[in-house]
Amino acid sequence: MTKFVIVEVGSTNTKAYLYDKKEIQEIGFETIEFKNHYKEEGKISSQDKELLFHFLKKQKEGPIFVYGTSIFRNLKEEEGKEWLTEFKEKTGLDFTIVTSDMENEYTVFGAVSNVNFPGKIAVMIGGGGSTELAIVQNGKIIEKANSSFGAMDITDKFPDLKEDIATTSYEEMVEATKKLVTIPKNKADILILAGGDYIYFYEELNYPVTKNKFYQHPLQPYSLDTKTMDQLDRNFFYQVSLKDIMERTKKEGWWKGARGMRLCVKALVDILEVKDIIPTRISMVYGIAEELKKK
């Protein structure tokens, strides 16, 4: 296949991507809070289902392939079967539930393919309900450390993260987040941030990033030292108006989880002892596309 649509259904955000002749472009975005509403109702919300079905009807570019991540992999067996049946009946499409290992491997493919770096690379796949980590050396995964928590779990633990200005101590929140992380045996030289649009974060806040000083890669144009990252994140927590940026960007759901995600990043930076991060837009879509195009 040379043209198709991949829809990634996460715990909080759903995205559609068009693969067309080796190029991948995001063509749709919708905040659907599957995980939060599941916590409230004890089941997948009917309203969330309808939002997803409507989102899929809007995708007209080609064959559609749908993949669900953390919230769906945590469903009980019978719940999962019922959801897959209902989804097929409502949309005529298959719904693939992606395991943590699959998400890890799909994303790592996009992050390290065509990367020439002599040291150890950590790849973080951040999501609303899970955090996957892979340590890569010479293009191969040498360790995985997946954690069953994500940005929205941190935000639930510290509700003031969704307020205009955060009030809880930064150090307290970082230490609490570290306690949730599955600790890898390996350290790393650099950390690639994947699974979310980290470049968008820096662009919208007009925060400085520099040219990637480690290697040239079209999907990884920037790098940032972690000391500067820490200063910028503290500013985002305690100086930047969350209300203002949500109104300006019209992405309320994305920004409500952004501070929680920054804490996930900071926790891994400290644990891995990395000095530099590589913010990217890379997600598991790149590995999935590689698989689908062969069909």
CATH number at residue 187: 3.30.420.150
pLDDT at 100: 85
Number of folded domains in the chain?
Answer: 2
Terminal alpha carbon distance of the chain = 6
Measure the CA–CA gap between 206 and 269, rounded to whole angstroms.
22
Which CATH number fits the domain that encloses residue 65? Answer: 3.30.420.40
Residue 244 has what pLDDT? 97
User: Is the same domain home to 185 and 214?
Assistant: yes
Q: Are residues 145 and 24 in the same domain?
A: no
Q: What residues form DSSP beta bridges with 194?
A: 125
Q: Are residues 172 and 115 in the same domain?
A: yes
Do both 79 and 140 map to the same domain?
Answer: no
Residues 252 and 177 in one domain: yes
Q: How many Cβ atoms sit within 10 Å of the Cβ of residue 47?
A: 12
pLDDT value of residue 192 = 98
Angle 193-199-204 from CA coordinates, rounded to 5°: 140
Query: Are both 127 and 192 inside the same structural domain?
Result: yes
Closest CA to 225 of 279, 168, 153: 279
Does residue 292 form part of some domain?
Answer: no
Task: Give the pair of three-digit tokens for residue 260.
Answer: 């929680």
The domain boundary, picked from 65, 98, 131, lies at 98
Question: Are 173 and 122 a contacting pair, CB within 8 Å?
Answer: no
The position carrying tokens 């009980």 is 76
* Dihedral sign (CA 165, 170, 173, 178): positive
Tens of pLDDT, residue by residue over 208-247, are 999 999 999 999 999 999 999 999 999 999 999 999 999 9
Phi, psi dihedrals of residue 123, rounded to the nearest 5°:
-115, 115
* 53: in domain: yes
Do 78 and 151 lie in one domain? The reply is no
Domain match, 148 and 205 both: yes
pLDDT recorded at residue 11 = 87
Residue 36 to residue 34: CA distance in whole angstroms: 6
Buried/exposed code over 138-170 (b: 16+ C-beta within 10 A; e: otherwise)? eeebeebbbbebbbbbbbebbeebbeeebeeeb
Both 15 and 126 in a single domain? no
pLDDT digits (tens), the chain, 295 positions: 789 999 999 888 899 999 998 889 999 999 999 988 998 999 999 999 999 999 999 998 889 999 998 889 989 999 999 999 999 999 999 999 999 889 889 999 989 988 999 999 999 999 888 899 999 999 899 999 999 889 989 999 999 999 999 999 999 999 999 999 999 999 999 999 998 889 999 999 999 999 999 999 999 999 999 999 999 999 999 999 999 999 999 999 889 999 999 999 999 999 999 999 999 999 899 899 988 987 7
Look at residue 291 and tell me if it is in a domain: no
Residue 121 shares a structural domain with residue 237 = yes
Domain that residue 220 falls in: 108-279
Kindly give the interhelix angle for 226-238 and 258-272, rounded to the nearest 10 degrees. 150
> Across the beta sheet with 23-31, what order do the strands follow?
23-31, 13-20, 3-9, 64-68, 95-97
278 bridge partner residues: 192
